[in-house]
Amino acid sequence: MALTYPGWQSHQRVYPLFTILIIDDNIPFRRSLRKTLEGRFPFVAIEEASRGKEGLKKVDYCLPHLIFMDFHLPDITGLNLTRRIKTGYCNICIVVFTTYDLPEYRTAALESGADHFVAKDSWTGDKTFELVESVLSNFGFDRNGLTRES
């Protein structure tokens, strides 16, 4: 049975304490990121979406703590989606990924409400782990997914 936190039950599905949503239309990248995260954080629930509208529905459905989002999505920009998500769920941490590490992209992502901006080409597993561990800590979890009260 999964541990649950009040407010983190959505519709018919009960989620573990910490949930990550990956929104990216690049299937190999999405699968690779998921595999990397599952290997280091096996206690985390991970959901995926390949389009922005699908991602928005999953936000409402699973209420993730952390979202990894592509800058360019087929149906909506990652920036517009970030704005929409942050309007309703300001505590969700959003990391915007892109293959273009341009200063204007970084500025636009942060102005849209993203908490982090990352160039896919320069991102490493260690940086991913550090970021997830930081977000876990901000939500009151240790690196093993236990709350500080446990």
Query: Can you give the residue ranges of every domain in the chain?
Result: 17-138
User: What does pTM read for this prediction?
Assistant: 0.85
Instruction: Indicate whether 93 pLDDT > 70.
Output: yes
Strand order in the sheet with 45-49: 45-49, 19-23, 66-70, 93-98, 116-119
**Banded pLDDT at 11 (limits 50, 70, 90):** very low
Instruction: Indicate whether 85 pLDDT > 90.
Output: yes
Residue 27, token pair as written in the block:
């299937």
Average pLDDT over residues 67-93: 95
How many Å is the Cα radius of gyration of the chain?
Answer: 15
Pick the CATH number of 17-138 from 3.40.50.620, 3.40.50.2300, 3.40.50.1400, 1.10.150.120: 3.40.50.2300
**Banded pLDDT at 12 (limits 50, 70, 90):** very low
Instruction: Indicate whether 3 pLDDT > 60.
Output: no
Handedness of CA 19, 20, 25, 26 (dihedral sign): negative
For residues 149 and 24, the model is more confident at 24
- Please check whether residue 76 is in contact with residue 54, taking contact to mean a CB–CB distance below 8 angstroms: no
In angstroms, the Cα distances linking 33 to 46, 54, 121 are 10, 18, 13
pLDDT digits (tens, 9 = 90+) for 23-67: 999 999 999 999 999 999 998 999 999 999 999 999 999 999 999
